[in-house]
Amino acid sequence: MSVLRMRCHCVKFIRRFSVLPEYTEKPEYPPILDLSRDAVKKRNDEVWHNKIKNLEILEEKLMEVNMPRYYGWPCIGLYEGKVPYGSLQFAQYITRTFIVTQQELPMLYQAAGIVDLCAPILDHVKNSIKEAIVLEHAVERSPSGELEDNGDDVNELGDAIVHQINRVIISSLSADFPHLQTCQVDHFPRIESFWIVGGIDPPKRLEKIRKTSNNGDLGKPVDVKFQYLGRPIAQLRHELPLQPAAIESEIQKIESNVPEFHYDPRVLGIDKLQRHVTNIPGFWPGDKSEFPLMSFHSSKYLANRSSFDDSEAAPYVHAVLASFAWLQALACYKGFSTFQDVTYPLLTQTVLTDGQYWSFYVYQLNTMLLHSSHATENQKCNLCWGTKKLKLFDKIENGKVVGFNEEVLKILLYFYLNVPHVRSGVELKPYLGVNNRYIADIPEKDKRVWLEKHFKHMYSNRPRKLLADELYHWEKIYKVDHKTRPQEPRRRPFELGQVPLERRYDDHTPAYVRKSERTVKWKKFEKTYYP
């Protein structure tokens, strides 16, 4: 073919398949993009965030967060019952929580008429609760009945008292309050929550890397990933949500000066861990009872905090982290994530107790967008109301409860009598599909089975069979720092420019399919359905 004919064919091809018109009334220029490292990273992150947002299946959203890392993300581990000293500002900053008024609950219970209902109910359940407390002390064979011992039996006794009080209240009130008949009670559920917080000062190691690579902004803040792992005594869930304690107009009037904490969280003695990040609010996707009513948490650790007195701050740290983590994981089950903020508030009621001392908290989640610049530019904040530590009873003497405090039981009844309602005019799951929201809704059997299997395997967090390659000390000395072994072949990942910890989750050979099980003979490996 001659050059002239080739040019003619090219012109015809361009004219035939050209989408844009040749001439426009106004000149159209391509956008001028900022090619700096930060701008390119920001655009790539936005593409990834939009991909998570546009996925219709909930489990695919949860899996996509882990797709960039085969060995999991490095994150700060937060554990229930392990509260560092002096960490109240830290807990408020990483959850963007404002403590409205200490030692006071919101006006929600008076506005709903709950306070007036408690007087007759209190007399009805008081004696049964006293009998339950005496019974548990008899089973545990506690000689004095006081819960001041630091042994493990204190936690078991406190948990048993919580279970008995919950059983007595639900069985006594469910006939008159239908929402207690349909609520789900989880005992020691698995609570895991993951989110990202920005505005943290970079560690010294990162500053050294920035200095050697001539990358400006040595002190530029970084994003830190947090993974919360909790196991409350019990939690109650319902199909309908609780009404918010403060509406948006009232939130704007509240002085939301959230304390700032820009230090590396490891200064508080918190360790890092490498794992697949998970969001589990105590149940698997698809459960109809998705909204929180209340949760009970053990405060046994307060008996061992003798270095200095933080008996007021430590329970607030525990309540803030536990409440935010539960609501954040629940919000992820609604299709939101740490990159897509909630469109409506979520409310929960939290109780901290060792069986004898009780404290009550109400937490409202208004935002979970805390990464990058949102750590300082986000105008919303989460709210927490709480009470001081109250004593339910003094001791058990001669088979009777001595010094029983009815005010503590009255506040607990407030939480049970807070009736959830239908949230009208609000789309509860705006980022999930209409017909296909969960793996169980996928019509294709192979995809449904494959996703279910790999989703549960990812969320089990079992260690990999082959660990990631690491840089040994002798290699750091002789090959990296001083380069004294140039004669050796370059075979190690750091010599080939590879970073093992940045390997993608789907970067592996698929499972082999035996010949007898193949639908197509030449397909040796199974089909994957990663999001």
DSSP-derived letter for residue 425 is T
- In terms of Cα–Cα distance, which of 155, 103, 80, 128 is closest to 356? 155
Residue 21 lies in a domain: no
Half-sphere exposure of 68 (CA within 13 A, CB side): 11
Sorting pLDDT into bands at 50, 70 and 90, what band is 148? very low
Q: What is the pLDDT of residue 149?
A: 45
Residue 283 lies in a domain: yes
The residue written with tokens 């042994």 in the block is 151
Q: What is the pLDDT of residue 141?
A: 46
Full-model pTM: 0.90
216, pLDDT greater than 50: yes
Q: Are 317 and 81 in contact (CB under 8 A)?
A: no
In order of 102, 221, 265, 323, the CA distances from 261 in angstroms are 20, 12, 9, 20
Reported as a single tens digit per residue, the pLDDT across 157-181 is 889 999 999 999 999 999 999 999 9
The whole-number average pLDDT for the span 214-229 is 87
Reported as a single tens digit per residue, the pLDDT across 457-516 is 999 999 888 889 999 999 999 999 999 999 999 999 999 999 999 999 999 999 999 999
Range with the poorest average pLDDT among 75-79, 217-221, 405-409: 217-221
Q: What is the pLDDT of residue 23?
A: 77
Among residues of the chain, what percentage have pLDDT more than 90?
Answer: 68
Q: Are 65 and 337 in contact (CB under 8 A)?
A: yes
Q: Report residue 392 as tokens.
A: 């339910």
208, pLDDT greater than 70: yes
What is the domain extent for residue 163? 73-417
Residue 8 lies in a domain: no
Query: Is residue 488 classed exposed, middle or buried when 0-12, 13-18 and 19+ CB atoms within 10 A define those classes?
Result: exposed
* Residue 442: φ, ψ to 5°: -75, 125
Query: Is residue 463 classed exposed, middle or buried when 0-12, 13-18 and 19+ CB atoms within 10 A define those classes?
Result: exposed
Q: What is the pLDDT of residue 140?
A: 52
Angle among Cα 157, 163, 166 to the nearest 5 degrees reads: 140
147, pLDDT greater than 70: no
What's the structural domain count of the chain?
1
Reported as a single tens digit per residue, the pLDDT across 381-406 is 999 999 999 999 999 888 899 999 99
Reported as a single tens digit per residue, the pLDDT across 433-444 is 998 999 999 999
The amino acid at 42? K
Residue 40 lies in a domain: no
Q: Are 62 and 439 in contact (CB under 8 A)?
A: no
Q: How far apart are CA 370 and CA 198, in angstroms?
A: 6
Sorting pLDDT into bands at 50, 70 and 90, what band is 14? very low
Sorting pLDDT into bands at 50, 70 and 90, what band is 250? low
Q: Are 154 and 203 in contact (CB under 8 A)?
A: no
Residue 524 lies in a domain: no
Residue 502 lies in a domain: no
Q: Which regions of 398-465 does DSSP assign to beta strands (E)? A: 400-402
* Residue with more model confidence, 111 or 471: 471
- Output helix, strand, coil percentages for the chain, rounded to the nearest 5: 40, 15, 45
Residue 527 lies in a domain: no
Residue 268 lies in a domain: yes
Angle among Cα 108, 114, 120 to the nearest 5 degrees reads: 160
Reported as a single tens digit per residue, the pLDDT across 297-345 is 999 888 877 666 777 889 999 999 999 999 999 999 999 999 999 999 9
- In terms of Cα–Cα distance, which of 90, 107, 95 is closest to 313? 90
Q: What is the 3-state secondary structure (H, E, C) of 27-72?
A: CCCCCCCCCCHHHHHHHHHHHHHHHHHHCCCHHHHHHHCCCCCCCC
Reported as a single tens digit per residue, the pLDDT across 416-430 is 999 999 998 899 999
Q: What is the pLDDT of residue 310?
A: 77
- In terms of Cα–Cα distance, which of 382, 390, 395 is closest to 411? 390
152, pLDDT greater than 50: no
In order of 370, 476, 479, 492, the CA distances from 487 in angstroms are 49, 16, 11, 14
145, pLDDT greater than 50: no
* Residue with more model confidence, 122 or 306: 122
Q: What is the 3-state secondary structure (H, E, C) of 270-284?
A: CCEEEECCCCEECCC
Query: Which residues fall within 8 angstroms of residue 256, CB to CB, at 6 or more apart?
Result: 98, 381
